[in-house]
Chains A and B, each alone.
Chain A
């Protein structure tokens, strides 16, 4: 036996039923039961479409994952990447036994701990110490194990002063740090991490990534890491798989997979996206109707055209200070800017559709591929909703011959040089 496999995923599939559960559902249930009673196959397993959000399917059933196969070696850090809705979260849920697969199997060796969220089960009224025991036992530790590691956990989280204070008095950063610290001291053989690192301040993120690297390299544990953030995937993982529409489309070294993913996104290069009804990205506070980038004057988006960015969203809360922020990044995850505006500075937001327009001047950005993140906030304090990678677009090089040389740099400004012969 040459390899020491820690996780083996075989023909894993997961089917979901879309739409509402209502009086119509019971007829499906009865039909399914009747087929199974006669020893026949579930009639609804045959139908169902691949998980592609952009095309509207006819079937009520959809395969969130279909025939996934991969193996993870012991001590390996595997990155799982893919667009929103590619099936990453579903795969995580299956791996952490929160829900069970429709077909196929996952075979594992050793204790699994999954971090779909930090601080699961935290009760705001209980103290930090009580919550460490609460959260630790939920994740499968015994009270003795927790007692043995209590000091380490508290120290790593940096909350020793507040350990006997109810968690409701903690700042959100402290809560996250405490939650992560408990998870980091779980010492499972297999650790499954969702994008929890996206929270917390930069210093703590560094600490958390360092801790995860220790866990995999120093202690030979297996880590599965799911993220949108290519930079942290690159720094943490050795190998990666790419999920697209519920299937594994690329597997290999992390650098190759990320390159493939980024090149592949060009096909996704759209200057306009629109959604309707419940398909709109958003939550109970707001839903985004559309996002558009276009050149200021007609033509194509290039270095000299300037860009008008427009998005519309429906807002469901009244009398708040609504604000929105646009974060533009290059495809290599370098943030170009993070700029926001107050939409209703006087705390008088209305129930309705808002449009935000932003002009990016000509002769500012260099040519290349960019992506957008939208963030919505309330009262300058609370995050209402954020979505990464909502739009990808490309800025072309100038058609003007004098300016058509591809130069390095994120920006390509027209600066006022003055020269003279001295």
Chain B
């Protein structure tokens, strides 16, 4: 046989580091939809309250935060009603934390499927951020209902800024940052499990380095830059500025976050791509 044959598929050890097959991922989009559907259909099976849990979780958390940070510690809320202030931070932070925690264990959680069938592995983390996005949307609706209640019955002076239109970008940035970090951690933990322990408390502690329970303005100028280094800071501040009129908005910080998100999601995807072909041997 002289002629080089046209093979459809060549499986070989060395693949370029940058070879991410977006066409293939697109081909498997139905699988992504099925994963999202599975997450929703099975999440609240055999519970009495079912999907109501989507609402209860932020309501309980907000109540506790209002009591502990608002009434006991008396932290500033920049003049916004405490409930709206905390809840706006919580639903965004929950989205970030959930995406991060779940993508960070994606290899471990799916080793049974990954060990038996090939499909583009990136589908799984992408399905995670999509499922969480649905949850975020539901919780955002809850937030809007409560906001409406404040406006209608408590004569709350609504103060919405044009920056609220940036919300889709903010969500995209959160998804990218959590995906990027999550992919790096899940790739590193296939061989060395050490980072799993860091993750267990790391995400929780990270919340305190983000203006979720306090406004950025309450910090002394000397230390503010440290918190501003956290890419999540400008996301939460921009959201609050947009919908509550409190907090701060700075294009510089937002651009910094955008560059950071792009950088980390690129690194994460590359590392993940490199790991996915070998991880079954080490996990």
Of chain A, the residue at the smallest CB distance from B283 is: A21
Question: How far in angstroms is the closest Cβ of chain A from B198?
Answer: 17
Contacts of B12 in A (CB 8 A): 100-101, 104-106
Q: Are A108 and B9 in contact (CB under 8 A)?
A: yes
B28 adjacent to chain A (CB < 8 Å): yes
Contacts of A106 in B (CB 8 A): 10-12
Contacts of B9 in A (CB 8 A): 107-109, 112
Q: Are A125 and B10 in contact (CB under 8 A)?
A: no
Contacts of B109 in A (CB 8 A): none
Could you give 9 example pairs across A and B, Cβ below 8 Å?
A94-B11, A95-B11, A97-B118, A98-B115, A101-B13, A105-B10, A107-B7, A110-B8, A123-B42
C-alpha gap A108/B113 in the complex (Å): 23
Q: Are B10 and A138 in contact (CB under 8 A)?
A: no
C-alpha gap A1/B114 in the complex (Å): 38
Contacts of B280 in A (CB 8 A): 93, 98-99
C-alpha gap A377/B103 in the complex (Å): 38
Q: Are B31 and A138 in contact (CB under 8 A)?
A: yes
A133 adjacent to chain B (CB < 8 Å): yes
B221 adjacent to chain A (CB < 8 Å): no
C-alpha gap A310/B27 in the complex (Å): 55
A169 adjacent to chain B (CB < 8 Å): no
C-alpha gap A24/B102 in the complex (Å): 29
Of chain A, the residue at the smallest CB distance from B45 is: A125
Contacts of A100 in B (CB 8 A): 11-13, 15, 277-278
B119 adjacent to chain A (CB < 8 Å): yes
List the one stretch of A49-57, A76-84, A114-122, A352-360 in contact with chain B: A114-122
Contacts of B34 in A (CB 8 A): 133-134, 137-138, 143
Contacts of A95 in B (CB 8 A): 11
Cβ proximity bits B24-48 to A, threshold 8 Å, 1 near / 0 not: 0001101101100110011001100
C-alpha gap A25/B37 in the complex (Å): 40
Max chain B Cβ within 10 angstroms of own Cβ: one of A3, A100, A134: A100
Q: Are B11 and A101 in contact (CB under 8 A)?
A: yes
C-alpha gap A201/B277 in the complex (Å): 36
Known: A97-B11, A99-B277, A105-B10. A126 touches B42 (CB 8 A): yes
C-alpha gap A237/B228 in the complex (Å): 66
Chain A interface size range: 35 or more
C-alpha gap A21/B30 in the complex (Å): 36
The one of B6, B41, B278 that contacts A130, using a Cβ cutoff of 8 Å: B41
Max chain A Cβ within 10 angstroms of own Cβ: one of B13, B34, B42, B119: B34
Q: Are A21 and B11 in contact (CB under 8 A)?
A: no
C-alpha gap A26/B191 in the complex (Å): 9
Of chain A, the residue at the smallest CB distance from B24 is: A140
C-alpha gap A120/B45 in the complex (Å): 21
C-alpha gap A8/B282 in the complex (Å): 27
Question: How far in angstroms is the closest Cβ of chain A from B24?
Answer: 10
Max chain A Cβ within 10 angstroms of own Cβ: one of B11, B28, B191: B11
C-alpha gap A130/B28 in the complex (Å): 17
C-alpha gap A366/B146 in the complex (Å): 85
B23 adjacent to chain A (CB < 8 Å): no
C-alpha gap A16/B282 in the complex (Å): 9
Chain B interface size range: 35 or more
For the complex of A and B, list the 10 residue pairs with the smallest distance between their C-beta atoms, beginning with the closest. Answer: A97-B118, A100-B277, A137-B31, A105-B12, A107-B7, A106-B11, A99-B280, A125-B42, A125-B45, A120-B116
B5 adjacent to chain A (CB < 8 Å): yes
Contacts of A141 in B (CB 8 A): 30
B72 adjacent to chain A (CB < 8 Å): no
B3 adjacent to chain A (CB < 8 Å): yes
A interface with B by C-beta (< 8 Å): 1, 3, 5, 8, 16-17, 21, 25-26, 29, 93-112, 114, 116-117, 120-121, 123, 125-126, 130, 133-134, 137-143
C-alpha gap A134/B277 in the complex (Å): 23
Other than the known A25-B191, A26-B192, what 11 A-B pairs have Cβ atoms closer than 8 Å?
A: A94-B11, A95-B11, A100-B278, A102-B13, A105-B10, A106-B10, A106-B12, A107-B5, A123-B42, A126-B38, A137-B31
The one of A1, A5, A105 that contacts B11, using a Cβ cutoff of 8 Å: A105
Contacts of B192 in A (CB 8 A): 21, 25-26
C-alpha gap A106/B119 in the complex (Å): 17
B162 adjacent to chain A (CB < 8 Å): no
Of chain A, the residue at the smallest CB distance from B117 is: A120
Q: Are A99 and B117 in contact (CB under 8 A)?
A: no
Max chain B Cβ within 10 angstroms of own Cβ: one of A98, A116, A142: A98
Question: How far in angstroms is the closest Cβ of chain B from A222?
Answer: 13
Question: How far in angstroms is the closest Cβ of chain B from A193?
Answer: 13
Contacts of A105 in B (CB 8 A): 10-12
**8 Å CB interface, B91-141 against A:** 112-119
Q: Are B118 and A134 in contact (CB under 8 A)?
A: no
Contacts of A5 in B (CB 8 A): 5
Of chain B, the residue at the smallest CB distance from A95 is: B11
B1 adjacent to chain A (CB < 8 Å): yes
**8 Å CB interface, B158-194 against A:** 191-192
Known: A1-B3, A97-B118, A139-B117. A103 touches B38 (CB 8 A): no
B281 adjacent to chain A (CB < 8 Å): yes
C-alpha gap A29/B282 in the complex (Å): 13
Q: Are A140 and B33 in contact (CB under 8 A)?
A: no
Q: Are A98 and B114 in contact (CB under 8 A)?
A: yes
Max chain B Cβ within 10 angstroms of own Cβ: one of A94, A103, A125, A138: A138
Known: A98-B117, A99-B281, A120-B113. A104 touches B31 (CB 8 A): no
Q: Are A138 and B11 in contact (CB under 8 A)?
A: no
The one of B3, B7, B41 that contacts A126, using a Cβ cutoff of 8 Å: B41
C-alpha gap A120/B34 in the complex (Å): 14
Of chain A, the residue at the smallest CB distance from B6 is: A109
